[in-house]
């Protein structure tokens, strides 16, 4: 099956908001081996909507549309869709009761304009929206299927999970699809591909290998599709085992996870704690860690000592170290990590210091110069990075590589304990 994702809204085109819906939808469709042929963002105009619906129907079997379902004049999706499908809008009584109940429960006045939220295409199947006032709509046109959903992310996700994904699951009940994922770190995508190219060439047509890179990690996903469940699961498991054996020094996890979740799981298993001391990353490292459920069992807290004064006051970084080597130095990073570990009595600590840019660089320490230090049970490991991207990318690269460095220290300690 081929699908196209359309997002409607001027706010997306002018950069006022970021389209996160398309990426999330695409990830869900992947589970059902639905091929995405195109993603499109268009303005709230009748011309753009009509043309895009027509073009999408020539490329895809499933067209998923988000946005433009509000009651205001700038949302013209429903009226345009009615013209496109040569139908009318009708007021759905069940949706109307739902909208009315929402306003009454919030003690808000129900305006005439809000009644329009209950207007749906006469030829659609209503996809009831428990989380909002705008229902979804499913329209079948020949072999093409159009699904309209609100643009609010949590409402869209509810409709996808409640209505759309179950629909896809019934498309071919005899076809079994399985996925296996390996998280690797410390190796670039091209080097990784070269290292496993012979294994990849052995894959049968029923199994595909996908590379899903981030700034420091890569997910390798094996996807198998067959009508013989036991056979395809066995084959996928066999190739997964081959990949893990070949890449053993780079394998972070043998299941689908993010590095933050994996580190939290590993530290929880060890009964260990972690703190952070962030200068150039400004708290993004701590934020990514605390975004994981269960992180409170591991993460004690962190500091953002941007100034030299706070590096000294909070982490006991020696003033002579700062004067002699500067804030962006291996020596300062080491003292930040050891100071964080000592100040908060944690088992591990990560410290970051650097020049994220765009200003602040020198000939000796240009923009993108970063030092990361990780303090463990017996030692402190450090690494210098020289990035050349913009500020936000430099910060994100630092954050990801700091987590990679913590994983590498944990792995080293595990190997030492096993000897």
- What are the tens digits of pLDDT across the range 265-277? 999 999 999 999 9
Q: Are residues 11 and 71 in the same domain?
A: yes
Check which CATH number belongs to the domain holding 342 and give it: 3.90.950.20
| Residue 366 pLDDT level (bands cut at 50, 70, 90) | very high
**CA pair distance 270, 268, nearest whole angstrom:** 5
Q: Are residues 84 and 199 in the same domain?
A: no
Q: Which domain holds residue 103?
A: 2-169
Which of 81, 54, 84 is CA-nearest to residue 67?
Answer: 81
| Residue 194 pLDDT level (bands cut at 50, 70, 90) | very high
Strand segments (E) across 342-407: 348-354, 369-375, 380-386
- pLDDT above 80 (res 236): yes
**CA pair distance 63, 130, nearest whole angstrom:** 22
Q: What does DSSP assign to residue 45?
A: -
pLDDT at 82: 96
| Residue 177 pLDDT level (bands cut at 50, 70, 90) | confident
Q: Are residues 131 and 239 in the same domain?
A: no
Tokens representing residue 271 in the block = 């009964």
Over residues 384-395, the mean pLDDT reads: 91
Q: What is the mean pLDDT of the chain?
A: 94
Q: What is the largest CA-CA distance in the chain?
A: 78
Q: Are residues 144 and 100 in the same domain?
A: yes
**Residue 69 CB-half CA count within 13 A:** 25
pLDDT at 311: 97
pLDDT at 264: 97
Q: Are residues 286 and 314 in the same domain?
A: yes
317-327 pLDDT per residue, tens: 999 999 999 99
| Boundary residue ending a domain (223, 253, 283) | 253
Q: Are residues 126 and 183 in the same domain?
A: no
285 touches 278 (CB < 8 A)? yes
| Boundary residue ending a domain (209, 234, 253) | 253
Q: Are residues 268 and 364 in the same domain?
A: yes
More confident residue, 174 or 66: 66
Q: Are residues 141 and 185 in the same domain?
A: no
pLDDT at 265: 97
Determine which of 12-21, 86-95, 231-240 has the lowest per-residue pLDDT on average: 12-21
| Boundary residue ending a domain (139, 169, 199) | 169
- Total domains in the chain come to 3
- pLDDT above 90 (res 418): no
Q: Are residues 238 and 314 in the same domain?
A: no
Over residues 90-119, the mean pLDDT reads: 89
B/e letters for 184-194, b = 16+ CB within 10 Å, e = fewer, are bbbbeeeebee
Check which CATH number belongs to the domain holding 143 and give it: 3.40.980.10
Q: Are residues 365 and 272 in the same domain?
A: yes
- pLDDT above 90 (res 72): no
pLDDT at 78: 94
pLDDT at 127: 95
More confident residue, 88 or 132: 88
**Angle at the Cα of 47 from the Cα atoms of 42 and 52, rounded to 5 degrees:** 50
pTM of the model: 0.75
Residue 396: is the preceding peptide bond cis (ω within 30°)? Answer: no
Q: Are residues 356 and 406 in the same domain?
A: yes
pLDDT at 174: 76
- pLDDT above 80 (res 73): no
Over residues 43-65, the mean pLDDT reads: 96
Over residues 381-390, the mean pLDDT reads: 92
- pLDDT above 90 (res 201): yes
pLDDT at 413: 94
- pLDDT above 90 (res 90): yes
Q: Are residues 152 and 188 in the same domain?
A: no
Determine which of 130-144, 263-277, 293-307 has the lowest per-residue pLDDT on average: 130-144
Residue 32 bridge partners (DSSP): none
| Residue 105 pLDDT level (bands cut at 50, 70, 90) | confident
Non-local CB neighbours of 256 within 8 Å, separated by 6+ positions:
179, 181, 183, 219, 221
- pLDDT above 90 (res 1): no
């Amino acid at each position: 099956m081929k699908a196209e994702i359309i997002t409607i809204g001027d706010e997306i085109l002018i950069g006022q908001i970021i389209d996160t819906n398309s990426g999330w939808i695409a990830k869900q469709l992947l589970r059902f081996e639905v091929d995405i042929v195109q993603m499109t963002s268009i303005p709230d105009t009748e011309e753009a909507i009509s043309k895009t619906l027509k073009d999408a129907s020539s490329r895809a079997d499933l067209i998923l549309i988000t946005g433009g379902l509000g009651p205001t004049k700038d949302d013209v999706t429903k009226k345009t869709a009615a013209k496109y499908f040569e139908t009318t809008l009708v007021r759905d009584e069940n949706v109307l009761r739902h909208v009315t109940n929402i306003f009454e429960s919030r003690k808000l006045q129900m305006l005439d304009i809000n009644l329009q939220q209950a207007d749906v295409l006469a030829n659609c199947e209503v996809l009831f929206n428990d989380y909002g006032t705008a229902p979804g709509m499913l329209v079948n046109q020949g072999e093409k299927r159009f699904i309209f959903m609100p643009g609010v992310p949590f409402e869209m996700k509810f409709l996808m999970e409640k209505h759309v994904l179950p629909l896809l699951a019934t498309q071919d009940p005899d076809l079994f699809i399985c996925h296996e994922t390996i998280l690797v770190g410390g190796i670039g995508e091209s080097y990784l591909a070269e290292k496993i190219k012979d294994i990849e060439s052995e894959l049968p047509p029923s199994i595909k290998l996908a590379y899903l890179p981030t700034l420091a990690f890569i997910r390798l996903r094996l996807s198998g599709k067959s009508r013989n469940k036991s056979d395809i699961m066995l084959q996928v498991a066999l190739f997964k085992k081959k990949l893990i054996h070949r890449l053993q020094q780079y394998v972070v996890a043998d299941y689908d996870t993010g590095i933050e979740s994996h580190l939290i799981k590993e530290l929880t298993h060890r009964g260990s704690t972690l703190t952070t001391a962030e200068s150039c990353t400004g708290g993004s490292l701590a934020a990514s860690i605390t975004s994981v459920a269960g992180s409170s069992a591991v993460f004690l807290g962190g500091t953002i000592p941007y100034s030299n004064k706070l590096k000294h006051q909070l982490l006991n970084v020696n003033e002579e170290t700062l004067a002699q080597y500067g804030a962006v130095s291996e020596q300062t990073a080491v003292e930040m990590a050891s100071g964080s570990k000592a100040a908060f009595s944690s088992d591990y600590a990560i410290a970051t210091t650097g020049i994220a840019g765009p200003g602040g660089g020198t000939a000796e320490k240009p923009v993108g110069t970063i030092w990361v230090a990780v303090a463990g049970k017996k030692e402190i490991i450090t690494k210098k990075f020289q990035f050349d991207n913009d500020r936000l990318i430099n910060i994100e690269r630092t954050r990801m590589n700091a987590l990679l460095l913590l994983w590498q220290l944990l792995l080293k300690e595990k190997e030492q304990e096993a000897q």
